[in-house]
């Protein structure tokens, strides 16, 4: 078992940026997310909206370190940051009044990572 080499330059840059932010801000949440994204793609989390709806509270910020899928309904206004989201998930999040962000956007707006829950 060797190590994996990521060939997507945008993904490798995101992983490096999250690790750097974690060191600079003393926020271990960004290191955790970077390590999850650095894993093999088959080990990435694929989270459905029904799970986010079950776990998250209204108005909470949630991070999905992987892919957000549109199965189920979202009944709460939640801010979700993810690496990638399906078109159906995007539509349902907007319909519920929530916000969908990229991981880099959330890290820039909340460098300490306070009040963020990881789902996956």
CA distances to 1, 41, 98 from 5, in Å: 12, 11, 34
Per-residue model confidence (pLDDT) at position 3: 64
Would you call 23 helix, strand, or coil by DSSP?
helix
Per-residue model confidence (pLDDT) at position 85: 97
Per-residue model confidence (pLDDT) at position 96: 95
Mean pLDDT, 10 residues at a time, the chain of 120 residues: 78 96 96 95 93 95 96 95 96 96 96 94
- Residue 53 token pair: 């709806």
Distance CA(45)–CA(68), nearest Å, equals 8
Domains and CATH numbers, the chain: 9-118 (3.100.10.10)
Bridge partners for 45 per DSSP: 66
């Amino acid at each position: 078992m060797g190590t994996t080499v990521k060939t997507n330059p945008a993904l490798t840059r995101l992983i490096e940026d999250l690790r750097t932010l974690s060191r600079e801000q003393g926020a271990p949440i960004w290191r955790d997310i970077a390590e999850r994204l650095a894993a093999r793609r088959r080990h990435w989390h694929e989270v459905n909206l029904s799970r986010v709806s079950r776990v998250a509270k209204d108005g909470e910020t949630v991070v999905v370190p992987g892919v957000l899928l549109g199965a189920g309904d979202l009944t709460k206004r939640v801010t979700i940051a993810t690496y990638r989201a399906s078109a159906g998930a995007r539509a349902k999040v907007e319909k519920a009044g929530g916000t969908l962000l990229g991981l880099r956007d959330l890290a820039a707006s909340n460098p300490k990572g306070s009040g963020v829950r990881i789902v996956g």
